[in-house]
A and B are shown apart, each in its own frame.
Chain A
Amino acid sequence: MLGLLWLVPALPLAGFAVLAIGGGRLPRRIVSAVAVGSVGLSTILATLVSVRHFWLAPKGGVYSQTLWQWMRLGDFVPTVTFSLDALSLTMVLVITIVSLLIHIYSTAFMVPEEGYSRFFAYMNLFVGSMLILVLADNLLLLYLGWEGVGLCSYLLIGFWYKDPDNVRAAMKAFWVTRIGDTAFAVGIFLLFTSLGTLQIQPILREVAGYPVGSALCNAAAALLLVGAVAKSAQLPLQTWLPDAMAGPTPVSALIHAATMVTAGVYLIARMHMLFLRAPTVLFIVAIIGAATLLLASCSAIVQNDIKRILAYSTISQIGYMFLALGVGAWAAAIYHFLTHAFFKSALFLGAGIVIKTLGGEHDIFKMGGLYRRLPVTFGAFLLAALTLAAVPPLTLTFNSKDLILNQVWLSERGGDVLWLLGVVGALLTEIYTFRIVFVVFFGPGQGKPGARPSLWMVVPFAVLSLVGGLVGVPELLNLLFGMKGFYLYLQSAMHGPVRDFGFAGGELLFQGIYVAVSVAGIGLTYFLYCHAPERVRSLVSTPAGSILHQLLFAGWGFDRLYRTVIVGPYVRLARLNRGDFVDIFYVAVAQVSRVVSFILSLMVTGNVRWYVAWIVIGAVIVLGLVVIL
């Protein structure tokens, strides 16, 4: 059963090959069948393999399967090897299930679009690359997947390539993540030259022999961190993600919410032994996470475009994962990834349905009153929003963020300042989440009526939302009856200290605090957006309020900063160098020879007697030189 592991990434890649070669000529029905079928089979296999792996865990909890030798360069013999442990198993399951549901959704969502088969070819390539990324056993293969998902992200953001804005957004995403990719590649080179291997497990074993805070560990961890920060849209490289919403909504749900943007989290969790040897870098991870989650959630509160709100929300939630990684709570980070993948992609799918129903309207203030017209969508969206907001009795998945906050409080790397920032972030999370719910579904705005959403869209959305709401049940059992939940399962792969509050009822006390914060946030939002919307308007219309609104709306002005500090000077420099400094010498050579040729051609008069005269003059000069010298 475990031997079928290779088929899990191979099937979507095969689907990609079929669609890429024959896609344009196949009828849409077959394109959908190939795309959904390959991902579906891959999901079934992944589930079977996971169940087998979960119940009959192989020795050491790791199953690895070597397919072939990739290349042979002296001692360096990288293989194509997939390895499955608790961490990659969780990732594989989430990726396949979410991708399957989003693929089904897309078959209805993309119906009116050109390039139907192109879309599914890219999507399948993405799923295959992402699975390679999380299953890779060495850093080279991981990097292959890493670049593959980056490529698909670029292609899918620019899917509607006829609009130059979309192309610009795609290029921005590509370039910004390229900064991180370059740093990541340098980090891989550094590890290889120092340790002589690219296999992840041997690297982690070797690294364990280095002293804490040694130069190699710090440098390698910092370089990998830059890669992770760019991929996961964290401060200061977060600017590409809000613009990446130019792509179709299923793409935003799959790539820019559920899977690819969490690749950075996966990378740090996978290499956590290395990061433990570099406490300074780990502290920076926590700081980046805390800063990102606050800044992004502030920006989310003032956006009007529903997809941009969700994009900032994604940045902010990944900030929580980074915060968890920074305090050494690896399992909490991955557990939050798990729940986030479900509820955030569900929110995106819901947003897609709303946008589609209103004929492409993105502004939440032009929606409104939709709870009557789209009752199922409303229910599922509310469930996903409650899961994001983490309100216990209404959703069963509520403790992923709370686990992170508990760990931040308890860990010796965390502390009360980071915890407080996290709790403030949680309050902001409630506000922006329920701002969407109240404005879109209860608001006064009246969108123009459109077609009813297809069942192919509503059902996967509802399923994702339900799964998101129920995925925390094992954790709940753990809390109530001490059963082994996801969290402890993940901890078996990434040994972190199991920290406990020193007193009875500590868990419940903190849970109470978080619930109070959630309820307060929702109450505040209800008051502001349903009861007294004029207060928001008067707050924004004050001078200070409008400046703050502008600043937050522009995402704290990072785009402007980068434009003036980096892009502007670079463009000016490029313009200055339009003639190419290096070329000046060669252009001069060409010019001089052209002038000389012109002068010489004046001599060629066709007059034989002049020729004789030139010859004589030349002979005299040569003879004179011979005599003088």
Chain B
Amino acid sequence: MAAIPIEVGLVIAGALFCIGLVGVLVRRNVIFILLSIEIMLNACGLAFVLAGSYWRQPDGQAMYFFILTMAAAEVAVGLSLVLQVYHHFGSLDANMVNRMRG
């Protein structure tokens, strides 16, 4: 297997992160925001794995497991919040949920 240069991998990770970030910023639907956050998390995981393989260290992969676990927990909490928001506001528009405006 030909080694992919680290720069390419990092650019892909950065691009994924930016896609996710833009998704968080522009999407109004809460489900899509959650999805975009997942993309950002995976971009981070990719960067970790790449760095781990570059330095020949297992830490990067171990770190990815942590991120995976954390992402699962986050999705569980996030989806239950999404359900609550839907029940409460009858909508999934994040702009409707602005009751906490200072």
A608 touches B97 (CB 8 A): yes
Report the minimum CB–CB distance from B93 to chain A (whole Å): 11
A607 touches B94 (CB 8 A): yes
Which residue of A606, A609, A613, A616 is within 8 Å of B102 (Cβ)? A606
Residue A628 at the chain B interface, CB threshold 8 Å: no
Interface centre among A601, A604, A607, A613 (most CB of B within 10 A): A607
Collect the chain A residues with CB atoms within 8 Å of residue B28's CB: 609
B95 touches A604 (CB 8 A): no
| B-facing residues in A564-623 (Cβ within 8 Å) | 601, 603-609, 612-613, 616
Residue B24 at the chain A interface, CB threshold 8 Å: yes
A612 touches B100 (CB 8 A): no
In the complex with contacts A604-B101, A606-B101, A606-B102, A616-B94 CB distance below 8 A: no
Report the minimum CB–CB distance from B78 to chain A (whole Å): 12
**Chain A contact residues: helix, strand, loop or mixed:** helix
Collect the chain B residues with CB atoms within 8 Å of residue A607's CB: 94-95, 98, 101
Report the minimum CB–CB distance from B60 to chain A (whole Å): 20
Bound-state Cα–Cα, A609 to B97, Å: 11
B85-102 interface bits toward A, Cβ cutoff 8 Å, 1 = contact, 0 = none: 000000000110111111
In the complex with contacts A612-B24, A612-B25, A601-B102 CB distance below 8 A: yes
Bound-state Cα–Cα, A613 to B25, Å: 7
B21 touches A604 (CB 8 A): no
Collect the chain A residues with CB atoms within 8 Å of residue B95's CB: 607, 609
| A-facing residues in B23-76 (Cβ within 8 Å) | 24-26, 28, 33
Bound-state Cα–Cα, A132 to B94, Å: 85
Bound-state Cα–Cα, A616 to B40, Å: 13
Collect the chain A residues with CB atoms within 8 Å of residue B98's CB: 605-608
A residues contacting the other copy or chain, number (CB 8 A)? 11
Collect the chain A residues with CB atoms within 8 Å of residue B102's CB: 601, 603-606
A91-127 interface bits toward B, Cβ cutoff 8 Å, 1 = contact, 0 = none: 0000000000000000000000000000000000000
Bound-state Cα–Cα, A609 to B28, Å: 8
B99 touches A606 (CB 8 A): yes
B100 touches A606 (CB 8 A): yes
Bound-state Cα–Cα, A608 to B94, Å: 7
B94 touches A609 (CB 8 A): yes
| B-facing residues in A190-244 (Cβ within 8 Å) | none
Collect the chain B residues with CB atoms within 8 Å of residue A608's CB: 33, 94, 97-98
Q: How large is the interface on B (under 10, 10 to 19, 20 to 34, 35 or more residues)?
A: 10 to 19
A616 touches B99 (CB 8 A): no
Report the minimum CB–CB distance from B82 to chain A (whole Å): 12
Collect the chain A residues with CB atoms within 8 Å of residue B26's CB: 609
Collect the chain A residues with CB atoms within 8 Å of residue B99's CB: 606
Chain A: CB-nearest residue to B37:
A612
Which residue of A601, A603, A616 is within 8 Å of B21 (Cβ)? A616
Chain A: CB-nearest residue to B36:
A612
Collect the chain B residues with CB atoms within 8 Å of residue A616's CB: 21, 25
Chain A: CB-nearest residue to B99:
A606
Collect the chain B residues with CB atoms within 8 Å of residue A612's CB: 21, 24-25
Report the minimum CB–CB distance from B64 to chain A (whole Å): 21
Bound-state Cα–Cα, A605 to B94, Å: 12
Bound-state Cα–Cα, A607 to B99, Å: 9
Bound-state Cα–Cα, A608 to B99, Å: 11
Which residue of A604, A605, A606, A609 is within 8 Å of B24 (Cβ)? A609
Bound-state Cα–Cα, A616 to B25, Å: 10
Collect the chain B residues with CB atoms within 8 Å of residue A601's CB: 102
Bound-state Cα–Cα, A608 to B97, Å: 8
Bound-state Cα–Cα, A605 to B102, Å: 6
Report the minimum CB–CB distance from A270 to chain B (whole Å): 74
Collect the chain B residues with CB atoms within 8 Å of residue A604's CB: 100-102
Bound-state Cα–Cα, A604 to B99, Å: 11
Bound-state Cα–Cα, A563 to B94, Å: 72
Chain A: CB-nearest residue to B100:
A606
Bound-state Cα–Cα, A613 to B33, Å: 13
B25 touches A609 (CB 8 A): yes
Bound-state Cα–Cα, A606 to B98, Å: 4
Collect the chain B residues with CB atoms within 8 Å of residue A605's CB: 98, 101-102
Report the minimum CB–CB distance from B50 to chain A (whole Å): 19
Report the minimum CB–CB distance from A267 to chain B (whole Å): 70
Chain B: CB-nearest residue to A605:
B101
Bound-state Cα–Cα, A603 to B100, Å: 12
Collect the chain B residues with CB atoms within 8 Å of residue A606's CB: 97-102
Bound-state Cα–Cα, A603 to B102, Å: 8
| B-facing residues in A425-449 (Cβ within 8 Å) | none
Bound-state Cα–Cα, A236 to B35, Å: 91
Bound-state Cα–Cα, A616 to B24, Å: 11
Chain A: CB-nearest residue to B95:
A607
Bound-state Cα–Cα, A601 to B99, Å: 14
Report the minimum CB–CB distance from A341 to chain B (whole Å): 78
Chain B: CB-nearest residue to A609:
B25
Report the minimum CB–CB distance from A613 to chain B (whole Å): 6
Bound-state Cα–Cα, A603 to B33, Å: 20
Collect the chain A residues with CB atoms within 8 Å of residue B97's CB: 606, 608
Report the minimum CB–CB distance from B52 to chain A (whole Å): 22
Question: Which B residues lie at the A interface, using CB under 8 A?
Answer: 21, 24-26, 28, 33, 94-95, 97-102
Given contacts A605-B98, A609-B95, A612-B25, 17 further A-B contacts (CB under 8 A): A601-B102, A603-B102, A605-B101, A605-B102, A606-B99, A606-B101, A606-B102, A607-B94, A607-B98, A607-B101, A609-B24, A609-B25, A609-B28, A609-B33, A609-B94, A612-B21, A616-B25
Complex A-B, nearest 9 residue pairs according to Cβ-Cβ distance, in ascending order: A604-B102, A606-B101, A606-B98, A606-B100, A601-B102, A612-B24, A608-B94, A607-B98, A605-B101
Please, could you name 9 A-B residue pairs with CB atoms under 8 Å apart, sorted by A?
A: A604-B101, A605-B98, A606-B98, A606-B99, A608-B94, A608-B97, A609-B24, A609-B26, A612-B21
